[in-house]
Amino acid sequence: TGTVAARSSKGKYVLVTDYAGNLAIRDPLTYKDYGKCIGGSTGYFSPDEKNAIVTDNKGITRLYECATGKEIAQMKGSSNSFSYHGDLVFSYDSVKNNYAVFDRKKGTELGSVSGYFSGISQDASRFSTATSESNGDTTYRIYDASNLKPLHELKNQYVSGFSKDGKRFLKTVKG
């Protein structure tokens, strides 16, 4: 019973709400319950269907192993996403206006960057954030995802996309 909140890309798992306001990881055909996600209200699956990230109403995001329902890591943030390949988890903290970046396989935080998330290369080697300045300008920063070092800073130019390998990006000028 319950409402399906998310479905994995190949349909192996679903996140289903229960009457207590939690999400459960289930097999959609047999209804086998793999585990409860504490206080979960929204969630997503990694592209390889091995993990789920679930956010509760207190702004805590938890990373779960789908096959066992085991909690792997906790991160502060109310908005979250996986990189294209699923190796990185981005968790936005609206109070600090930054993104914490987690290595999904290790279950550890790599660090945090300011601004809101604006894009990632397909190979997950580069990502960008944007920060609104008090004068109305926007600053985009491109980071190396392996060490969170900033590679480029663009003022009033927008990162529109990345090449597949992340080495090039398309920018547009405000105007």
Confidence at residue 4, expressed as pLDDT on a 0 to 100 scale:
84
Could you tell me the two tokens for 19?
């009457």
Could you tell me the two tokens for 161?
């996309």
- Number of CB atoms found within 10 A of residue 165's CB: 11
Per DSSP, 125 falls in state S
- Block means of pLDDT (10 residues each) for the chain, 175 residues, are 83 85 87 80 85 82 90 78 76 79 83 81 80 79 87 81 75 64
Confidence at residue 173, expressed as pLDDT on a 0 to 100 scale:
65
- Which residues make Cβ contacts (< 8 Å) with residue 174, sequence separation at least 6? 138, 156, 157, 158
Quote the strand ranges of 39-97, DSSP E: 40-45, 51-56, 60-65, 71-76, 79-82, 88-93
Confidence at residue 79, expressed as pLDDT on a 0 to 100 scale:
63
